[in-house]
Amino acid sequence: MKRTFKYSRIIAGTMTWGKWGKDFNAKEMIALMNHCVEFGITTFDHADIYGDYTNEEQFGNAFSKSGIGRENIQLISKCGIQFKTETRDNRVKHYDYGRDYIVESVERSLQKLRTEYLDMLLLHRPSPLMDPNEVLEAITLLKKEGKIRQFGVSNFTPSQIRLLETVVPVEGNQVEYSLTSNSVMYDGTLDDCLSHGRMAMSWSPLGVYFKEGTEQTKRIKNVLQKLSAKYGVTEDQLLLSWILKHPAKVYPVVGTTTPKRLESAIKAIALELELEDWFLMLEASNGHEVP
């Protein structure tokens, strides 16, 4: 099935823009938004829970003053996770995919983001109590009212998507995918995206490479140092290029808030890894040659 996706190939992840990270003020958010757009990063990834349910409002307030036209960007957001936090009267962390809750969550996100629609809504994580018919009713209403344009999921397995697709089409899946965490290449997740024309998105696309000094990351570093010299690029560009080479046409959701690293991420799109170099990186990650 062929679908059209009008999103920037590199997506700006906003999880650390607010309370859970840099805690930017409006002026700083506006500057970062404009920097992203200037360099071709026009898609911004949100979730209602980010910043304990505060990020969307901070982003929306800044966006309303940024001078950026809504038609020039794309907004993705997620719903379904219920946290125990001061802003919610929850006794336990849980998931809610009832019709009314999905609709109410989207309406709250729209109000906070200062927009009339989401380009794509994602269900944040699968719930064992998810009723596909409840989801169908919510998505049908939201699309009819023009409040969402596309519908997808995040962290869902192919079988969980098949369950949903007994009643409602699923247009995207955002999953953890990086050189250091690449199980979705083998468990059918990326195969499912490729064979059904879903938009595959990768959260944490750099994995733990810059965070952990494990035997795995040391092996990868030995390879990346040689490839950096060969291609004249940075290590983060190599890691992104490795993801971008997959035929599922994965869209990395880049969480950095550093302007130069965002520019670097965009430049990774033009980097074409040679086939054997791609497998050298995979071998370094796995610690053995492919079977």
- List active site positions: 50
Q: Which tokens in the block code for residue 110? A: 């729209």
**Residue that the structure tokens 């936090």 belong to:** 85
Radius of gyration of the chain (CA): 19
The structure tokens listed for 194 are: 């490729």
- What are 95's strand-pairing partners? 81
Separation CA 242–CA 238 (nearest Å): 6
Give the separation between CA 281 and CA 245, rounded to whole angstroms. Answer: 12
- Cβ atoms of 290 and 283 within 8 Å: the answer is yes
Question: What does residue 76 show for φ and ψ, rounded to 5 degrees?
Answer: -115, 135
Among 71, 65, 133, 69, which residue's Cα sits nearest to residue 102?
Answer: 133
- Contact of 189 with 158, CB cutoff 8 Å: yes
- Is 12 in contact with 254 (CB distance < 8 Å)? yes
